Amino acid sequence: MRDLLFHLPSGAVDRRNRPQVAGALPGAVVTLEIRVLQHLVPPRGRDRIPYRVICEDETGEITLVYFNARQTYLEQILPVGEIRFVSGRLDEFRGEKQIVHPDYAVDAAAFAELPPVEAIYPLTKGVSNRQIAKALAEALKSAADLPEWLDPALLAQRNWPSFEPALEAVHHPETPAAITPESAPFERLAYDEALANQLAILLIGRYVRRRRGKARTAAGRLSEAIEAALPYTLTKAQREALSEIRADIASPERMLRLLQGDVGSGKTVVALLAIAAVVEAGGQGALMAPTEILARQHYEGLQPVAKRVGLRLALLLGRGRGGGRQETLNAIENGEADIVIGTHALFQEGIQFKDLGLAVVDEQHRFGVHQRLALAGKADGPGADVLVMSATPIPRTLQLTFFGDMDVSSLKEKPPGRKPIETRAVSLERLDELMEGIRRRIAAGDQIYWVCPLIEESELSDGTPAEVRFAHLKSVFGDRVALLHGRMRADEKDGVTAAFKAGEIPLLVATTVIEVGVDVPNAAIIVIENAERFGLAQLHQLRGRVGRGEKASSCILLYKPPLGETAAARLGILRETEDGFRIAEEDLRLRGAGEMLGTRQSGTPLFRIVRLEAHQHLLEVARKDAEKILTDDPFLESERGQALRNLLYLFSRDEAMQLLTAG
- Are 473 and 479 a contacting pair, CB within 8 Å? no
Backbone angles phi, psi at 4, to 5 degrees: -70, -45
- Are 484 and 448 a contacting pair, CB within 8 Å? no
Q: Per-residue pLDDT tens for 542-600?
A: 898 888 777 889 999 999 999 888 889 889 999 998 888 888 888 777 765 544 444 44
Cα–Cα dist 21/467, whole Å: 56
Q: Per-residue pLDDT tens for 92-130?
A: 988 899 999 998 899 999 888 888 888 888 877 777 777
**pLDDT surpassing 80 at residue 442:** yes
Query: How much is the average pLDDT of 160-185?
Result: 92
Cα–Cα dist 627/486, whole Å: 43
Residues 425, 291 share a domain: no
Show the DSSP H helices in 143-284 as ranges.
152-158, 163-171, 184-210, 221-229, 236-249, 267-280
- What's 31's DSSP letter? E
Q: Is residue 259 very low, low, confident or very high in pLDDT (cuts 50, 70, 90)?
A: very high
Is residue 322 assigned to a domain? yes
637, burial (CB in 10 Å: exposed 0-12, middle 13-18, buried 19+): exposed
Is residue 82 assigned to a domain? yes
Cα–Cα dist 342/318, whole Å: 8
Cα–Cα dist 30/88, whole Å: 6
Cα–Cα–Cα angle for 498, 285, 226, rounded to 5 degrees: 70
Q: Is residue 606 very low, low, confident or very high in pLDDT (cuts 50, 70, 90)?
A: low
- Are 411 and 241 a contacting pair, CB within 8 Å? yes
Is residue 504 assigned to a domain? yes
Residues 286, 404 share a domain: yes
Residues 242, 384 share a domain: yes
Say what percent of the chain tops pLDDT 90: 43
Give Dmax (Cα) for the chain.
97
**pLDDT surpassing 70 at residue 240:** yes
Least confident of 118-132, 442-456, 474-488: 118-132
Cα–Cα dist 170/189, whole Å: 9
Residues 455, 362 share a domain: no
Q: Quick one: pLDDT at residue 266? A: 87
Q: Quick one: pLDDT at residue 640? A: 94
Least confident of 116-125, 360-369, 480-489, 543-552: 360-369
- Read off the amino acid at residue 282: G
Query: How much is the average pLDDT of 270-298?
Result: 90
Is residue 2 assigned to a domain? no
Cα–Cα–Cα angle for 31, 37, 40, rounded to 5 degrees: 100
Helices 163-171 and 184-210 sit at what angle, rounded to 10 degrees? 130
Say what percent of the chain tops pLDDT 70: 88
Higher pLDDT, 406 or 466: 466
β-strands 117-120, 11-14: how paired? antiparallel
Residues 460, 531 share a domain: yes
Q: Of 43-47, 187-191, 372-376, 529-533, which has the strongest mean pLDDT?
A: 187-191
The residues that bridge with 91 in the sheet, in sequence order, are 98
Alpha-carbon distance values, 243 to 38, 238, 246, 391, 589 (Å):
83, 9, 5, 20, 33
Query: How much is the average pLDDT of 333-349?
Result: 87
Q: Quick one: pLDDT at residue 596? A: 46
Query: Which residues does 643 contact at the CB level (< 8 Å), separation at least 6?
Result: 146, 147, 148, 149
Q: Which CATH number fits the domain that encloses residue 488?
A: 3.40.50.300
Residues 61, 22 share a domain: yes
- What's 521's DSSP letter? T
Q: Which CATH number fits the domain that encloses residue 78?
A: 2.40.50.140
Residues 259, 110 share a domain: no
Query: Which residues does 525 contact at the CB level (< 8 Å), separation at least 6?
Result: 438, 441, 446, 447, 448, 449, 546, 553, 554, 555, 556
**pLDDT surpassing 60 at residue 75:** yes
Query: How much is the average pLDDT of 629-651?
Result: 92
* Residue 160, CA atoms < 13 Å, CB-side half-sphere: 25
**pLDDT surpassing 50 at residue 603:** no
Show the DSSP H helices in 281-368 as ranges.
292-309, 323-334
Query: Which residues does 306 contact at the CB level (< 8 Å), separation at least 6?
Result: 312, 313, 339
**pLDDT surpassing 50 at residue 66:** yes
Question: Which has the closest alpha carbon to 307: 226, 195, 190, 405?
Answer: 226
Is residue 165 assigned to a domain? no
Q: Is the peptide bond before 562 cis (omega within 30 degrees of 0)?
A: yes
587-619: buried (b, 16+ CB within 10 Å) or exposed (e) per residue? bbebbbbbbbbeeeeeeeebbbbbebeebbebb
Q: Is residue 141 very low, low, confident or very high in pLDDT (cuts 50, 70, 90)?
A: confident
Query: How much is the average pLDDT of 248-258?
Result: 88
- Are 101 and 88 a contacting pair, CB within 8 Å? yes
Q: Per-residue pLDDT tens for 145-172?
A: 889 999 999 999 999 999 999 999 999 9
- Are 469 and 530 a contacting pair, CB within 8 Å? no
Residues 404, 432 share a domain: no
Residues 100, 36 share a domain: yes
Is residue 626 assigned to a domain? no
364, burial (CB in 10 Å: exposed 0-12, middle 13-18, buried 19+): buried
Cα–Cα dist 281/512, whole Å: 39
Cα–Cα dist 361/367, whole Å: 8
**pLDDT surpassing 60 at residue 356:** yes
Higher pLDDT, 16 or 639: 639
Q: Of 190-199, 203-212, 362-371, which has the strongest mean pLDDT?
A: 190-199
The residues that bridge with 38 in the sheet, in sequence order, are 54
567, burial (CB in 10 Å: exposed 0-12, middle 13-18, buried 19+): middle
- Are 633 and 640 a contacting pair, CB within 8 Å? yes
Query: How much is the average pLDDT of 22-34?
Result: 90
Is residue 401 assigned to a domain? yes
Least confident of 384-393, 460-469, 483-492: 460-469
Cα–Cα dist 164/526, whole Å: 55
Question: Which has the closest alpha carbon to 438: 525, 496, 531, 508?
Answer: 525
Residues 464, 395 share a domain: no
Q: Quick one: pLDDT at residue 598? A: 46
Helices 466-477 and 431-443 sit at what angle, rounded to 10 degrees? 60
Query: How much is the average pLDDT of 258-281?
Result: 90
- Are 98 and 64 a contacting pair, CB within 8 Å? yes
55, 89, 115 - which closes a domain: 115
Domain residues for 57?
Answer: 17-115
Question: Which has the closest alpha carbon to 411: 219, 245, 278?
Answer: 245
Alpha-carbon distance values, 158 to 150, 183, 612 (Å):
11, 11, 18
- What's 527's DSSP letter? E
For the chain, the C-alpha Rg in angstroms (whole number) is 31
Task: Calculate the CA 305 to chain-centre distance.
Answer: 35
Higher pLDDT, 46 or 303: 303
Is residue 123 assigned to a domain? no
Q: Is residue 348 very low, low, confident or very high in pLDDT (cuts 50, 70, 90)?
A: confident
Query: How much is the average pLDDT of 302-318?
Result: 91
With the C-alpha atoms ordered 140, 143, 147, 148, is the resulting torsion angle positive or negative? negative
Secondary structure (3-state) at 131: helix
Q: How many domains does the chain have?
A: 3
411, 442, 470 - which closes a domain: 411
**In the sheet where 523-529 sits, what is the strand order?**
421-427, 553-559, 523-529, 447-451, 507-510, 481-484
Question: Which has the closest alpha carbon to 275: 360, 344, 336, 374?
Answer: 360
**pLDDT surpassing 70 at residue 662:** no
Q: Is residue 615 very low, low, confident or very high in pLDDT (cuts 50, 70, 90)?
A: confident
Residues 406, 484 share a domain: no
Higher pLDDT, 180 or 297: 180
Query: How much is the average pLDDT of 67-74?
Result: 90
Q: What is the pLDDT of the chain when averaged over all its residues?
A: 85
577, 604, 639 - which closes a domain: 577
Residues 270, 348 share a domain: yes
220, burial (CB in 10 Å: exposed 0-12, middle 13-18, buried 19+): middle
